[in-house]
Amino acid sequence: MSLKIGVPSKGRLMEKTFDWFGARGVTMVRTGSEREYAGAVEGIGGVELVLLSAGEIPRELAAGRIHLGVTGSDLVRDKLADWNKQVAELAPLGFGHADLIIAVPACWIDVDTLDDLDAAASAFRARHGFRLRIATKYHRLVRDFLTANGVADYQLVDSQGATEGTVKNLTAEAIADITSTGETLRANHLKILTDAVIHRSQATLFLSHRADWGAERAVLEALVAKLGLSAPALSG
């Protein structure tokens, strides 16, 4: 058996992850053709590289099909209920930074805070007869955040892409989305509420509490020592 580590299968997240491990003496490489999701790990024995989409990695960690995984901290928190009972954060990796925020039309000059949004949502429902729509793909994080902050008269509408365009297309009145620079928001005439940063995300190395940690415990100890990390507590 080998310790399986899930890594994003393409793009900057994959490259940055390979760089992070490589700088610590663990070399990760893709093998086979560009269309094959296969890879290899050098510099330590007993570790198998599993290439997945960043969005799949939280599910695979929760199912115990991989022992470790690199993905955005936002994805783990949104996709997994009681995420910290299913996985543990081993290390923030220092790249892939982005903020999950709530943004409204820039022309809403009287709406700058969550309290303003709550008032606007109540007025919107009274005027239009339905709840103000917030487009997002981060349903759990957004709902929990708004509930904790007392915002009530809204509904979440699913958006799996081009969320910034939903307001212009009249399918939502506000959005909750990931942004790193804010440029796309500004280009779509949206502004971020001053107190509505829901989560500051970055790529993070996670450990699965659900995986089978038999012989893999020794491999984990060797790996974290090589990476310069503290040995995690394992359940079971």
User: What pLDDT digit, counting tens, does each position of 67-95 carry?
Assistant: 999 999 999 999 999 999 999 999 999 99
Tell me the mean pLDDT in the region 202-206. Answer: 98
* Torsion angle defined by CA atoms of residues 7, 9, 15 and 18, in that order, rounded to the nearest 10 degrees: 30
Above 80 in pLDDT, residue 33?
no
Tell me the mean pLDDT in the region 218-229. Answer: 94
CA–CA separation, 122 and 10 (whole Å): 43
Q: Are 176 and 191 in contact (CB under 8 A)?
A: no
What CATH number belongs to 3-96+202-227? 3.40.190.10
* 26 Cβ contact partners less than 8 Å away, ≥ 6 residues apart: 41, 42, 43, 44, 47, 223, 226, 227
Above 70 in pLDDT, residue 139?
yes
Q: What is the mean pLDDT of the chain?
A: 94
What CATH number belongs to 98-201? 3.40.190.10
Q: How far apart are the first and last CA of the chain?
A: 18
CA–CA separation, 80 and 201 (whole Å): 15
Tell me the mean pLDDT in the region 117-130. Answer: 96
**Where along the chain do its domains lie?**
3-96+202-227, 98-201
Above 90 in pLDDT, residue 117?
yes
Q: Tell me the two tokens of residue 188.
A: 């779509």
Is 3-96+202-227's fold the same as 98-201's? yes
